[in-house]
Amino acid sequence: MRHIISILLENEAGALSRVAGLFSARGYNIESLSVAPTEDPTLSRMTLVTSGSEDVIEQITKQLNKLIEVVKLVDLSDGNHIERELMLVKVRAIGSAREEFKRLVDIFRGNIVDVTEKTYTIELTGPSTKLDALLEAIDRSLVMEIARTGASGLGRGERSLTI
Amino acid sequence: MNAELTGAEIAIRCLQEEGVTHIFGYPGGAVLFIYDELFKQDKVKHILVRHEQAALHAADGYARSSNKVGVALVTSGPGVTNAVTGIATAYMDSIPLVIISGQVPTAAIGQDAFQEVDTVGITRPCVKHNFLVKDVAELATTMKKAFYIASSGRPGPVLVDIPKDVSQHKTAFHYPASVSLRSYMPVVNGNIKQIKKAAQMILGAKRPMIYAGGGVILDDAATELATFTRMLDFPCTNTLMGLGAYPATDRQFVGMLGMHGTYEANMAMQYCDVLIAVGARFDDRVIGNPKHFYSEDRKIIHIDIDPSSISKRVKVDVPIVGSVSQVLTELINLLKASKETGDTHALQEWWKQIEQWRARDCLKYDRASKIIKPQMVVEKLYEVTQGDAFITSDVGQHQMWAAQFYKFDKPRRWINSGGLGTMGFGLPAAMGVQMINPDAMVACVTGEASIQMCIQELSTCKQYHLPIKIISLNNRYMGMVRQWQEFFHGNRYAESYMDALPDFVKLAESYGHVGMRIEKPEDIDGALKEAFNLRDRLVFMDFVTDQTENVFPMVPGGKGLSEMILV
């Protein structure tokens, strides 16, 4: 099963590689990983999407907690949460395809953020499944480039990960 | 304001503050300033090894035998890469070490400088934690953190990488009395609700079993374990890492369990109804195939300081995270206060069953053999040393025979590489043990293959007059490899023979030690007595043993605990 884990870790050189190293050393999956400093400059927040059986997920959270630089973590999938990912897609947009892309982007509530004579760059934010859905809907032969950030998420309401 | 000290001075001052008596190391370019400061003081004694791997094993032996943090000092590049085997060895067995490594100057990092490696990167998967100190102002706090992390919670090696310029730069020295890290707060006290649940389960047990591992030794909880086991009259087994946690000569001890454990220990483990795991981790060499282990219905209580050790390989019913000494003390108090008594009738029946298993005498061997049986050497070693020696070992058959036949009654006397299985560990580990226990008998039980992996340390032993007794069980084979090839690879002994062996007697003598070659069973006893009477000399005892002897019982890989091969 897919799990989305949020981790607060010390904003120190090497902390990211400890997490990445743990996953490769123990054979866990990383579907995506995103990390950036928080409002507290000594802390980074990492969102990690992984998959595995309940036993594996339990080990993953325990092993992550064991890393000295991990301050706190929560498995967002354990409860209600919101999840967003940002994607940029550059497509070949010529002739009738230009209109079609415009319509499709409107349907998905995305934005076209760069336009040239022959290309569009589409920006789309949403749960990862929505991003996948857009990619399903467009002609893949017209896709020139895709950049996705990986998921980021927060617990709903009072549920929060802070120290 | 304190006078400013260099990074090198600070590093040494930190060691002094921590009460470190000996460090084990090897100099090189990146650590020259640190060695210069070592030279100027005499509180911390430096032991010069002949290879960095040995520095780590020696620091490791020092730590295992004393419950102090072991310290090693190595230079950058090859100094570190040589040390990696020793670091990984300590990591697998949760041994508290602090490793100080030199690094190229900060400005040269990443430039492929001479003797540069990414030390923090290379060691990351085999340390509890590591640090690269980029600013001398952070050095003292980092050292404090290193000692704190290494020795608290589930212990382990911590590496501090110090670039050469940092060891040269100056700052005011202040050594913090303590540190606290918001991201690292090991749980010590077990959850009382869980402990109560465990006590209930224990009182209801009909076929109980106590399975104690290295965690009991690391936490110095042997006294608590003995009280707990005796008040309940439960059978107790120790893992390879736990030998000495419960006295081996006690009636309630059923021997070591696992791949080469006793019949009675493995059977009791398989058929118990309540299993109390204390500071142990259900290793693959301990329970064999988990599916087979699950085939019998039993409740499991698991006490461990490391949450990730719980329910990792085997699902448990009552997990208790905490220090084993604290949790056992709580349990003892609860059981003492309880009005209930356990099912004594069922317990008697269970003991009857265990005694039947014990009567199988699974460790028997041919005592009348005309060729030296390796088991007999260990038995005689036990008699001659009256069970009071520190025994280190290398890895292989000799290690298993030492574990089976030397009856360890005290913790911290059995020093071996259980997790990583590092050949070459025994001799350097014995050096560390002898350094911190100068008056103790220290023996290294080894084989002719393992001993050659760190044989250069005979030179270190000469320099520091270490009177270690090397008990080499020489069967001209990598015995354990040969045994597996015999059992599982159709007797094809691919590269497992030991050809072109040196004359170990002359080799020992060339280092100024005493060498002995023992070829007949009737000479074992006399030779051992003679060797141990040479109190101030290292004696290399080359025992010519039976080439075909195998370690029994044996649970083949992938099999279950009750599927042992017996003699």
| Nearest-by-Cβ selection for A21 from B125, B129, B308 | B125
Identify all chain B residues contacting A161, using CB atoms and an 8 Å cutoff: none
Please, which residues 145-164 of chain B have a Cβ atom closer than 8 Å to chain A? 149
Q: How far apart are CA B369 and CA A64, in angstroms?
A: 55
Averaged pLDDT, B361-386: 97
Q: Could you tell me if B93 and B417 are in contact, meaning their C-beta atoms sit under 8 angstroms apart?
A: yes
Q: What percent of chain A has pLDDT over 90?
A: 97
Would the CB atoms of B124 and A17 count as touching at under 8 Å? yes
Burial-class residue B388 by CB neighbours within 10 Å (0-12, 13-18, 19+).
Answer: exposed
Q: Is the pLDDT of residue A163 over 90?
A: no
Which CATH superfamily, name and number, covers B4-172? Thiamin diphosphate (ThDP)-binding fold, Pyr/PP domains (3.40.50.970)
Q: Could you tell me if B521 and B372 are in contact, meaning their C-beta atoms sit under 8 angstroms apart?
A: yes
Would the CB atoms of B308 and A59 count as touching at under 8 Å? yes
Q: Could you tell me if B37 and B170 are in contact, meaning their C-beta atoms sit under 8 angstroms apart?
A: no
Residue at B421: amino acid letter: G
Query: Residue-wise over A112-144: b if at least 16 C-beta within 10 A, else e?
Result: beeeeeebbbbebebebebbeebeeebeeebee
HEC profile of A48-99: EEEECCHHHHHHHHHHHHHCCCEEEEEEHHHCCEEEEEEEEEEEECCCHHHH
Task: For A47-68, write each residue's pLDDT tens digit.
Answer: 999 999 999 999 999 999 999 9
Contacts of B37 (CB under 8 A, 6+ apart): B6, B8, B9, B11, B12
Determine the residue among B134, B154, B183, B185 to mutate to test chain A binding: the one whose Cβ has the most chain A Cβ atoms within 10 Å: B183
Q: Could you tell me if B212 and B240 are in contact, meaning their C-beta atoms sit under 8 angstroms apart?
A: no
Residue at B94: amino acid letter: S
Q: Cite the beta strand spans of B283-335 per DSSP E.
A: 299-304, 318-321
Would the CB atoms of B183 and A18 count as touching at under 8 Å? no
Would the CB atoms of B183 and A25 count as touching at under 8 Å? no
Catalytic-residue membership of B516: no
Q: What percent of chain B has pLDDT over 70?
A: 100
Indicate the helix (H) or strand (E) that contains B284: helix B284-287
Catalytic-residue membership of B164: yes
Instruction: Return the half-sphere exposure (C-beta side, CA atoms, 13 A cut-off) of residue B555.
Output: 27
Q: Could you tell me if B539 and B385 are in contact, meaning their C-beta atoms sit under 8 angstroms apart?
A: no
Backbone angles phi, psi at B126, to 5 degrees: -125, 25
CA distance to partner chain A, nearest, from residue B308 (Å): 5
Q: Structural domain boundaries of chain B?
A: 4-172, 192-358, 374-544
Averaged pLDDT, B384-413: 98
Q: Is the pLDDT of residue B295 over 90?
A: no
Of the listed B17, B41, B115, B530, which one is catalytic?
Answer: B115
| Same-fold call for B4-172 versus B192-358 | yes
Averaged pLDDT, B62-83: 98
CA distance to partner chain B, nearest, from residue A120 (Å): 40
Q: Structural domain boundaries of chain A?
A: 2-79, 82-152
Task: For B325-334, write each residue's pLDDT tens digit.
Answer: 999 999 999 9
Q: Could you tell me if B93 and B420 are in contact, meaning their C-beta atoms sit under 8 angstroms apart?
A: yes
Which CATH superfamily, name and number, covers A2-79? ACT domain (3.30.70.260)
Chain A CA closest to residue B154: A66
Q: How far apart are CA B322 and CA B329, in angstroms?
A: 11
| Same-fold call for A2-79 versus A82-152 | yes
Identify all chain A residues contacting B307, using CB atoms and an 8 Å cutoff: 62, 65-66
Chain A CA closest to residue B118: A14
CA distance to partner chain A, nearest, from residue B313 (Å): 9
| Nearest-by-Cβ selection for B312 from A9, A59, A65 | A59
pTM of the model: 0.96
Q: How confident is the model at residue B149 (pLDDT cuts 50, 70, 90)?
A: very high
Q: Residue B415: which of B405, B404, B425 has the closest Cα?
A: B425
Task: For B508-528, write each residue's pLDDT tens digit.
Answer: 999 999 999 999 999 999 999
Please, which residues 58-77 of chain A have a Cβ atom closer than 8 Å to chain B? 58-59, 62-63, 65-66, 68-71
Q: Residue B467: which of B411, B374, B377, B390 has the closest Cα?
A: B390
Burial-class residue A163 by CB neighbours within 10 Å (0-12, 13-18, 19+).
Answer: exposed
Backbone angles phi, psi at A71, to 5 degrees: -85, -45
Cis peptide before B428 (omega within 30 of 0): no
CA-based end-to-end distance of chain A? 28
Backbone angles phi, psi at A22, to 5 degrees: -60, -45
Would the CB atoms of B307 and A65 count as touching at under 8 Å? yes
Asked if B141 reaches chain A (Cβ–Cβ under 8 Å), the answer is: no
User: In Å, how far are A72, B64, B95, B135, B382 from B430, measured between CA atoms?
Assistant: 41, 11, 15, 37, 17
Which pLDDT score, from 0 to 100, does residue B1 have? 53
Q: Is the pLDDT of residue B255 over 90?
A: yes
Would the CB atoms of B183 and A70 count as touching at under 8 Å? yes
CATH 3.40.50.1220 for domain B192-358, yes or no, is yes
Asked if A17 reaches chain B (Cβ–Cβ under 8 Å), the answer is: yes
Of the listed B18, B52, B264, B448, which one is catalytic?
Answer: B52
Which pLDDT score, from 0 to 100, does residue B498 have? 83
Report helix angle B52-66 to B78-92, nearest 10: 30
What mean pLDDT, rounded, does chain B reach?
A: 97
Tokens of A12: 């120190």
Which pLDDT score, from 0 to 100, does residue B397 have? 98
Which pLDDT score, from 0 to 100, does residue B567 have? 87
Determine the residue among A17, A19, A66 to mutate to test chain B binding: the one whose Cβ has the most chain B Cβ atoms within 10 Å: A66
> In this structure, which topology does domain B374-544 adopt according to CATH?
Rossmann fold (3.40.50)
Chain B CA closest to residue A56: B312
User: In Å, how far are B22, B74, B223, B308, B325 from B220, measured between CA atoms?
Assistant: 22, 30, 8, 21, 7
Contacts of A115 (CB under 8 A, 6+ apart): A121
Task: For B168-223, write each residue's pLDDT tens digit.
Answer: 999 999 999 999 999 999 999 999 999 999 999 999 999 999 999 999 999 999 99
Asked if A32 reaches chain B (Cβ–Cβ under 8 Å), the answer is: no
CB pairs under 8 A between A and B: 36
Which pLDDT score, from 0 to 100, does residue B2 have? 64
Task: For A89-139, write each residue's pLDDT tens digit.
Answer: 999 999 999 999 999 999 999 999 999 999 999 999 999 999 999 999 999
Averaged pLDDT, A69-77: 96
Determine the residue among B91, B308, B309, B321 to mutate to test chain A binding: the one whose Cβ has the most chain A Cβ atoms within 10 Å: B308
Beta-sheet strand order (sheet of B414-415): B414-415, B390-393, B442-447, B469-474, B539-544, B514-518
Q: How far apart are CA B93 and CA B99, in angstroms?
A: 16
Task: For B478-489, write each residue's pLDDT tens digit.
Answer: 999 999 999 999
CA distance to partner chain A, nearest, from residue B258 (Å): 24
> What CATH number has the domain spanning A82-152?
3.30.70.1150
Instruction: Return the half-sphere exposure (C-beta side, CA atoms, 13 A cut-off) of residue A143.
Output: 14
Asked if B121 reaches chain A (Cβ–Cβ under 8 Å), the answer is: yes
Q: How confident is the model at residue A13 (pLDDT cuts 50, 70, 90)?
A: confident
